[in-house]
């Protein structure tokens, strides 16, 4: 952004043209006034039950402390599944220990948290922060970066340093004694110099759904057995720990496999009690939060692959959402699907239109998944790719100052079930079509010819339709570039087409008509070196079928990461937007991307802020996103789940 362009000017242009009053999607950097809804949970939230009796609170406080990727991506098949670890029989006995009896959704008071509030809202409103920055002459984006840095510092400073401190912090946070093996976990975490000891609220949210439903102990095991009996084995994996050794049922080929998870669990398996939980190897989540189901209704899995999931997702909307708003919610709230304008949201992301592999179940069942929407009851666990060397790449040895002032992304056409009539609706496709328009517009502003330089570079042997000829192709929901928007035009003149080094590396998951349509309207660059992003100051990360496995590699680099996503992940407790990454709105047509790049490249405050984010994300990844941190999260999750699996009454 040019120094003379004010945030109010940009805000007025963006909001007047693109935003609706009801929309509460990912926060646009140039629209800080978008309403974000309530900052705290409803009183009905199962984690904030203030109505619990004092006697029950005393009872809880007085407890004695106890010493997949998609089938198309991974080649998943029924034949390719195996049991890793050599303890399959022992692993399965935990599930098969009792028969599949009926249960209902009557809440069990002894398993409801009495914590007044497990999630704290921001102590300083964003309006106050912005007002303070305005008085000091700080640009509103640089202001967000500085505020986010303060929040990150607070997150670190409030962590416990000893097991005794961690026990006290746990009791204060959740109003109950910590689970068995908790102190052993804390000692192991401290031994490995873990940064985060106390902030594991996502686990509390995820397991809270089962506590509220009274789905614990034998009921929990019977529900898991019911799922195992009703669903084919290739649909459902399993993670067990038996006598300190992990057992994993799942695909055993490639990095996203049972063997990878076994390796992640090895450093921590000795401190995990005997426990077993289902594991979802699909990329997409599987447990939309269900309404109460009759006890006699059989457990089932729907196949919504390639279909409109709106009805299924809508039925899963409870009165509260299962993804918490955290202390930095004034910077970037999670998407609450149940509160969004679903017509608008449905036009922006492939999963919400036609997911490639979506097999939701009809009852509440404990299942580990890599990501989910706000109204899903899957238990979030780290994707095993986050701990595999192939997805971490090599160390970035290029200093920030030596990198190109450009944005880089390469990927494939995943993210939705593509057809020749619909492929242009997907979130990746919209971003790639949008960036193509930016290159065309930048070329016209510089040379007078609206043409994409990438067409000549990467598709010199074929004809690629320019955006104005393909505006009605394949269900496109993206408007054409608006040359009357003076602020964006000015930014593109300064940036030039070479700033947007974003393209497909290949087309996948497409039949012949779809492939022909893609080829006529898009370019591919072929595969490039995995460390190619390191040459660029800015790296883009986009959802695929679900979350993106490249995220940790990018965060660990010396580049600034732009991330666009609808998904909640396990690490949302410890990654703070605007200091560890820059969030991008799903509505790419609001021109947020070029305005951000212009600010970070050309504005003096932006250059400083960009360098600060790139440095902070690298340091944070080295401290909190190591493979051992992934292992420790699994251990903490399994230890907490074991309290539901084998409760002490």
Number of other residues whose CB lies within 10 A of the CB of residue 79:
8
Confidence of residue 56 (pLDDT cuts 50, 70, 90): very low
Mean pLDDT of 159-170: 98
CA 247 to chain centre: 26
pLDDT for position 332: 60
Can you say whether the dihedral through the CA atoms of 566, 572, 591, 423 is positive or negative? negative
pLDDT at 626 over 50: yes
Confirm whether 395 is domain-assigned: no
pLDDT at 577 over 80: yes
Mean pLDDT of 326-334: 53
- pLDDT per residue as tens digits for the range 364-420: 999 999 999 989 999 999 999 999 988 988 999 999 999 999 999 999 999 999 999
Whole domain around residue 224: which residue ranges?
68-113+198-325+352-387+628-645
The reply to whether 462 and 369 lie within a common domain is no
Q: In what order do the strands lie in the sheet with 404-412?
A: 500-506, 404-412, 536-542, 560-564, 582-583
Look-up of token digits 């040459």: 535
Taking the C-alpha atoms of residue 155 and residue 568, their distance in angstroms, rounded to an integer, is: 19
Confidence of residue 123 (pLDDT cuts 50, 70, 90): low
Confirm whether 421 is domain-assigned: yes
pLDDT for position 68: 40
The reply to whether 459 and 421 lie within a common domain is yes
The conformation of residue 288, written as its DSSP 8-state character, comes to B
pLDDT for position 72: 40
The reply to whether 360 and 490 lie within a common domain is no
pLDDT at 181 over 80: yes
Confirm whether 590 is domain-assigned: no
Mean pLDDT of 75-87: 47
* Cross-strand bridge partners of residue 411: 504
pLDDT for position 333: 56
pLDDT for position 233: 74
The reply to whether 372 and 433 lie within a common domain is no
Are the CB atoms for 586 and 566 separated by under 8 Å?
yes
CA 253 to chain centre: 24
Output the average pLDDT for the chain: 83
Q: Which of 4-13, 222-231, 331-340, 471-480 has the weakest average pLDDT?
A: 4-13
Residue 646 is inside which H or E element, if any?
none
pLDDT at 51 over 60: no
pLDDT at 87 over 80: no
Taking the C-alpha atoms of residue 497 and residue 443, their distance in angstroms, rounded to an integer, is: 6
The dihedral over CA atoms of 551, 554, 556, 558, expressed in degrees to the nearest 10, equals -160
What is the residue-wise DSSP string for 314-348?
HHT--SS-SS---TTTTT-PPP-GGGS-HHHHHTT
Number of other residues whose CB lies within 10 A of the CB of residue 349:
24
**Which among 594, 588, 583 is positioned nearest to 488, based on CA atoms?**
594
Taking the C-alpha atoms of residue 515 and residue 325, their distance in angstroms, rounded to an integer, is: 41
Q: Where are the alpha helices (DSSP H) in 26-157?
A: 54-61, 71-74, 88-93, 126-136, 140-157
pLDDT for position 296: 72
Taking the C-alpha atoms of residue 469 and residue 472, their distance in angstroms, rounded to an integer, is: 8
Taking the C-alpha atoms of residue 190 and residue 165, their distance in angstroms, rounded to an integer, is: 12
The reply to whether 417 and 511 lie within a common domain is yes
Tokens of 318: 């409870």
Q: Around 10, how many Cα atoms within 13 Å sit in the side-chain half-sphere?
A: 29
567 Cβ neighbours under 8 A, 6+ residues apart: 371, 372, 373, 543, 546, 547
Burial status of residue 44 (CB atoms within 10 A of its CB: 0-12, 13-18, 19 or more): exposed
The reply to whether 371 and 432 lie within a common domain is no
292 Cβ neighbours under 8 A, 6+ residues apart: 104, 105
pLDDT for position 292: 56
pLDDT for position 338: 86
- Residue 240 three-state SS: strand
Residue ending a domain, among 531, 562, 589, is 531
- Top pLDDT among 245 and 87 is at 245
Angle at 506 between CA 503 and CA 509, to 5 degrees: 120
* 24 phi and psi angles, rounded to 5 deg: -135, 50
pLDDT for position 235: 76
pLDDT for position 125: 76
Residue 495 is inside which H or E element, if any?
helix 486-495
Report how far apart the first and last C-alpha atoms of the chain are (Å, whole number): 61
Residue ending a domain, among 501, 516, 531, is 531
The reply to whether 371 and 426 lie within a common domain is no
Confirm whether 377 is domain-assigned: yes
Look-up of token digits 């072929």: 526
The reply to whether 211 and 358 lie within a common domain is yes
Burial status of residue 463 (CB atoms within 10 A of its CB: 0-12, 13-18, 19 or more): exposed
The reply to whether 503 and 423 lie within a common domain is yes
The dihedral over CA atoms of 538, 543, 548, 551, expressed in degrees to the nearest 10, equals 20
Residue 268 is inside which H or E element, if any?
none
- Top pLDDT among 111 and 318 is at 318
The reply to whether 106 and 248 lie within a common domain is yes
Confirm whether 539 is domain-assigned: no
Confirm whether 1 is domain-assigned: no
Residue ending a domain, among 531, 563, 594, is 531
pTM: 0.84
Confirm whether 596 is domain-assigned: no
The reply to whether 217 and 292 lie within a common domain is yes
* 451 phi and psi angles, rounded to 5 deg: -145, 145
Are the CB atoms for 184 and 271 separated by under 8 Å?
yes
The reply to whether 480 and 521 lie within a common domain is yes
Are the CB atoms for 129 and 165 separated by under 8 Å?
no
Taking the C-alpha atoms of residue 8 and residue 471, their distance in angstroms, rounded to an integer, is: 31
> How many domains is the chain built from?
2
- pLDDT per residue as tens digits for the range 263-282: 999 999 999 999 999 999 99
Burial status of residue 532 (CB atoms within 10 A of its CB: 0-12, 13-18, 19 or more): middle
- Top pLDDT among 176 and 13 is at 176
Confidence of residue 126 (pLDDT cuts 50, 70, 90): confident
Confirm whether 126 is domain-assigned: no
The count of residues in the chain is: 649
- pLDDT per residue as tens digits for the range 485-540: 999 999 999 999 999 999 999 999 999 999 999 999 999 999 999 899 999 999 99
* Cross-strand bridge partners of residue 369: 380
Tokens of 615: 């440095």
């Amino acid at each position: 952004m040019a120094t003379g362009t004010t945030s109010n000017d940009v805000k007025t242009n963006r909001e007047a043209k693109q935003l609706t009053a009801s929309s509460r999607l990912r926060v646009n950097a140039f629209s800080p006034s978008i309403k974000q809804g309530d900052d705290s949970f409803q009183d009905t939230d199962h984690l904030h039950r203030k109505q619990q009796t004092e006697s029950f609170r005393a009872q809880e406080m007085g407890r004695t402390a106890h010493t997949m990727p998609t089938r198309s991506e991974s080649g998943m098949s029924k034949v390719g599944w195996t049991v890793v670890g050599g303890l399959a029989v022992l692993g399965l006995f935990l599930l098969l220990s009792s028969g599949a009896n009926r249960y209902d959704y009557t809440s069990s008071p002894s398993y409801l948290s009495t914590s007044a509030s497990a999630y704290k809202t921001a102590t300083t409103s964003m309006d106050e922060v912005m007002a303070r920055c305005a008085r000091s002459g700080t640009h509103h984006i640089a202001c967000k970066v500085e505020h986010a840095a303060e929040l990150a510092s607070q997150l670190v400073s409030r962590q416990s340093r000893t097991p005794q401190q961690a026990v006290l912090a746990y009791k204060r946070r959740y109003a109950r004694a910590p689970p068995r093996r908790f102190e052993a976990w804390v000692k192991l975490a401290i031994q490995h110099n873990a940064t985060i000891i106390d902030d594991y609220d996502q686990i509390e949210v995820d397991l809270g759904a089962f506590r509220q439903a009274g789905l614990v102990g034998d009921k929990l095991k019977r529900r898991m057995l019911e799922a195992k009996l009703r669903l084919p084995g290739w649909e459902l994996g399993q993670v067990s720990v038996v006598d300190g050794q992990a057992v994993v049922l799942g695909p055993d080929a490639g990095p996203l496999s049972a063997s990878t998870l076994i390796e992640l669990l090895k450093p921590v398996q000795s401190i995990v009690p005997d426990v077993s939980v289902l594991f979802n190897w699909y990329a997409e989540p599987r447990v939309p939060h269900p309404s109460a189901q009759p006890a006699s209704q059989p457990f089932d899995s729907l196949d919504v692959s390639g279909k409109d999931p709106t009805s299924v997702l809508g039925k899963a909307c409870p009165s509260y959402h299962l993804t918490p708003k955290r202390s930095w919610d004034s910077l970037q709230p999670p998407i609450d699907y149940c509160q969004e304008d679903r017509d608008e949201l449905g036009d922006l992301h492939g999963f919400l239109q036609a997911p490639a592999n979506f097999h939701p179940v009809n009852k509440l069942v404990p299942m580990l998944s890599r990501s989910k929407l706000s109204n899903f009851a899957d238990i979030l666990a780290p994707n095993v790719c986050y701990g595999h060397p192939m997805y971490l790449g090599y160390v970035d040895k290029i200093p920030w100052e030596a990198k190109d002032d450009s944005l880089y992304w390469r990927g494939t056409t995943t993210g939705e079930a593509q057809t020749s009539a619909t492929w242009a609706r997907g979130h990746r496709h919209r971003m790639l079509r949008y960036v193509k328009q930016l290159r065309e517009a930048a070329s016209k502003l510089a040379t007078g010819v609206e043409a994409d330089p990438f067409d000549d570079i990467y598709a010199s042997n074929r004809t690629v339709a320019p955006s104005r000829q393909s505006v009605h192709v394949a269900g496109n929901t993206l408007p054409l570039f608006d040359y009357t928007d003076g602020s964006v035009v000015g930014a593109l003149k300064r940036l030039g087409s070479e700033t947007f080094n974003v393209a497909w590396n290949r087309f996948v998951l497409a039949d012949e008509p779809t492939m022909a349509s893609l080829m006529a309207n898009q370019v591919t660059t072929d595969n490039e070196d995995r460390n190619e992003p390191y040459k660029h100051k800015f790296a883009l990360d986009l959802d695929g079928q679900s979350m993106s496995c490249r995220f940790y590699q990018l965060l660990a680099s010396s580049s600034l990461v732009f991330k666009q996503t609808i998904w909640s992940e396990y690490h949302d407790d410890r990654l703070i937007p605007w200091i560890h990454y820059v969030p991008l709105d799903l509505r790419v047509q609001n021109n947020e991307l070029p305005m951000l790049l212009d600010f970070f490249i050309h504005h003096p405050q932006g250059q400083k802020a960009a360098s600060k984010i790139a440095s902070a994300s690298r340091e944070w990844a080295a401290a909190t996103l190591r493979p051992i941190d992934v292992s420790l999260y699994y251990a903490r999750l399994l230890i907490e789940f074991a309290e539901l699996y084998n409760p002490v009454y």
